[in-house]
Amino acid sequence: MTLSSVAQPLPLWQQLQATGVALAAVAQGVSASAALLRVPSALRSGVQSLLFASLRNWGRAHALRGILAQRKPPPEVDSLLCVALALSWLPEQAPYEPFTLVNQAVEAAKRSPKMKAQATFVNACLRRFLRERDALVAVTNKDLQASWNHPVWWIELLQHDHPNHWQQILRADLVPAPMVMRVNVRRIERSALAAQWLALGIMAHPVGPYGLMLVNPLPVDRIPGFAQGLCSVQDGGAQLAAPLLLGALPDHGKHRRILDACAAPGGKSAHLLELSDAQVVSLDIDEVRCERITGNLQRLGLSAQVVAADALKVNDWWDGQAFDAILLDAPCTASGIVRRHPDVVWLRRASDVAQLGKLQQSLLHTLWPLLKPGGVMLYCTCSVFRREGQAQVKSFLQHNTQAHGLPCVGHLLPQNSNNNGGVTDNLPSDHDGFFYALLQKPLD
């Protein structure tokens, strides 16, 4: 093997350049996942890490850029500046030495046809930042968005909804989530899979009844047993859904007919089938995402009736047979899973909360008649906003006398395994933010 045949590390300037392009796409409303698909595969892993770190510090970076360049520069330059500032403003958390980041960001500008003419400007801004870092950061500390790296409307809504825990929620959002696997207990016991991993040097800790948290995350294709259907990626909080619904049914849902509405990518459908002999109908409006449901079920050795249709257009997909149970994982702001998707806070708008609330309300009222007398619906969202959780269910119960609530989790706040400031909620350990409510239809 010659030296030239050994893969060489990609230069940092090239990664920063690509990260800036991806951040500019997010600024235009493109999801981080979609933006990363545009990045060359050789760069993607490194760029994802830098992009997510930049997104978690975008509020601070934007405020700093506003001081350094009061007139907003072109989008590509603005994003590159924000990437460099986001990654270097807090030296103890910087992935590289701040001087290195600045040097390489300037190099990225020099090597870009779109930014070459602005390279001197980029250099001047970033060199000033290095000289005056402490003073500039002190000024931005007065900026609420900069201090918490969330939009002001988001912060104010959390202050209203969770007056005792809004700070802890914001802190938890900014810590990357761990990789948690759900064990397919139809195929293997959790302790047995953990032992297999440990023998291969892969350490994992139990999470809830069915989860294993990897000490060091791995690509799924390198996790022993994943391809064979022994486990799936699913946060510990999301793993509550299937047990909550099945636990409210006679015989733990045995031979029951269950609708999983808004089911893609199929994690909750799969968990229902791993834990019971229920007949599951997995419904989603997106045909492509329905293919993902089918693929995930096949990998796990499970089967369900997968239907691509709009849940609100009942006549297009329902066969007239009522369901024993319905799992409604309603579309929401995703405000509870920011740890995994740091772009969410910058893609959402304040108006989205009300708009999604109307959709959730429509889904609740449309699907409720499809439930048998005595049947149970689990309503859930991956949101910490009360408009999408507690308030939504309270309104539904007030306007539907043929429904009553069963004891359930309620709002589950995001929490890191180190407790990250002491979030007091209803589960120990590490999980994203969710809302769960069990609703039952009377027998008469």
User: What phi, psi does 214 have (nearest 5°)?
Assistant: -70, 130
- Secondary structure, 3-state, 81-148: HHHHHHHHCCHHHCCCCHHHHHHHHHHHHHCCCCCHHHHHHHHHHHHHHHHHHHHHHHHHCCCHHHHH
Is 382 an active-site residue?
Answer: yes
Please state at what angle helix 152-161 crosses helix 166-173, rounded to 10 degrees: 130
| Cα–Cα distance list, 11 to 18, 36, 145, 355, 410 (Å) | 11, 18, 32, 44, 48
User: Do you know the residue count of the chain?
Assistant: 444
Cβ distance 177 to 211 under 8 Å? Answer: no
Catalytic residue among 82, 231, 262, 382: 382
Where do the DSSP E strands lie in 243-391? 257-261, 279-284, 305-308, 323-329, 371-381
| CA angle (329 as vertex; 229, 218 as ends), nearest 5 | 35
Tokens of 332: 């929401």
DSSP character for 231? E
Q: How, if at all, do strands 180-183 and 211-214 pair? A: antiparallel
What string of DSSP letters covers 348-378?
--HHHHHHHHHHHHHHHHHHGGGEEEEEEEE
Q: Which of 232, 246, 233, 229 is nearest to 280 (CA)?
A: 246
Using CA atoms, how far residue 139 sits from 67, 146, 174, 341, in Å, is 9, 10, 21, 28
C-alpha distance from residue 329 to each of 77, 129, 415 (Å): 40, 45, 21
> Taking the CA atoms of the chain, what radius of gyration do you get in angstroms?
24
**CA–CA distance, 430 with 175 (Å, rounded to integer):** 11
CA 45, CA 53: separation in Å to the nearest integer? Answer: 13
- d(Cα 327, Cα 318) in Å, to the nearest integer? 15
The residues annotated as belonging to the active site are 382
